[in-house]
Structure 1
Amino acid sequence: MNIGLEGSSITRPSFFDGIKYSFWRTRMTIFLQSLDYQLWHIIVNGPRMPTRTIDGVVSPKPKNEYNDNDFRMLQLNSKAKHVLFCVIGPNEFNLISSCDSAKEMWDLLEITYEGTNQAKE
């Protein structure tokens, strides 16, 4: 019997301080998916910036033309960034603090702590 050991919280994600990245990544993946699967989608695929098409030309949509779905997608990126900032130590914060998207943050952590696919092979 292991007295004193505790399980993880289902409402609070695991903290990452630069140690055991693979363990943390797996737990964070499930945690993020459990919050909102679209949140995980934003981290994997990046945010979809609102665009419009005029005469066959696609361009960024002016903010005054954003609809509810546009705001939801932008909000999900901000929420994902917030979650990631809340679960990392100061060294990791300094590493990812200049990233614009949650995908950039996630990818930078992965490259830093696991290397690129070429390095892994």
Structure 2
Amino acid sequence: MADKMPFVKGTSVNRPPLVCGVNYQFWKVIMKIFIHSTETGIWESIENGPFIPQVKRGEDLIDKPSSEWTEARNKRAKFDWIAKNNITFVLSCDKFFRVSQCSSAKEMWDILEVTHEGTSDVKRARKHALI
């Protein structure tokens, strides 16, 4: 039984757990905890998408040029790249190529969720089957 369980030898506080294809739900919770432990803003980037400072010009909001960003906004915008790095670091080659063209960490996370859990309709059908 232990040979079928992911992370048999334990995980590291310095490295995120690898996706092994078995027990995705377990990996997902561990990965969330790992990301939260490094910096809360990184998880916010995965949940909400990348932070892009904007400025209002007339009626429209436009992206602010990066040369005008403050130090705090620059750090916050960098969270998406850190999240993408954390996610790609734990993937096998085939899983990496599924998400390699994504423009944000949120998009990567969403693709992994749909790949392993299915769409919301599939999740709902599974719940009804259990009931």
Q: TM-score surpassing 0.5?
A: yes
For residue 6 of structure 1, report the CA deviation from its aligned partner.
Answer: 3.2
* Runs (5+) with no aligned partner, structure 1: none
Equivalent residues of 1:51, 1:59 under 8 A apart? yes
Give the SS at the match of 1:29: helix
Alignment correspondent of 1:38: 41
Amino acid at match of 1:120: K
Alignment correspondent of 2:109: 106
User: Aligned runs of 1:15-30 on 2, under 5 Å?
Assistant: 15-30=18-33
Higher relative contact order (CA 8 A, sep 6+): 1
Equivalent residues of 2:19, 2:90 under 8 A apart? yes
Equivalent residues of 1:77, 1:102 under 8 A apart? yes
Instruction: Give me the identity figure in percent.
Output: 35
Give the SS at the match of 1:108: helix
Equivalent residues of 2:51, 2:80 under 8 A apart? no
Alignment correspondent of 2:10: 7
Equivalent residues of 1:18, 1:92 under 8 A apart? no
The two structures, once aligned, show a CA RMSD in angstroms of 1.6
Equivalent residues of 1:46, 1:102 under 8 A apart? yes
Alignment correspondent of 1:79: 82
1:51 paired with 2:34, answer no
Amino acid at match of 2:108: M
Equivalent residues of 1:38, 1:76 under 8 A apart? yes
- Distance in 2 (CA, whole Å) between partners of 1:43 and 1:87 is 15
Q: Determine which of 60, 64, 68 is the counterpart of 1:65.
A: 68
Equivalent residues of 1:18, 1:89 under 8 A apart? no
* Equivalent pairs, count: 118
Runs of 4+ in 1 over 6 A off after TM superposition: none
- Distance in 2 (CA, whole Å) between partners of 1:6 and 1:110 is 25
- Distance in 2 (CA, whole Å) between partners of 1:6 and 1:51 is 46
* Runs (5+) with no aligned partner, structure 2: 3-7, 125-131
1:120 paired with 2:123, answer yes
For residue 89 of structure 1, report the CA deviation from its aligned partner.
Answer: 0.5
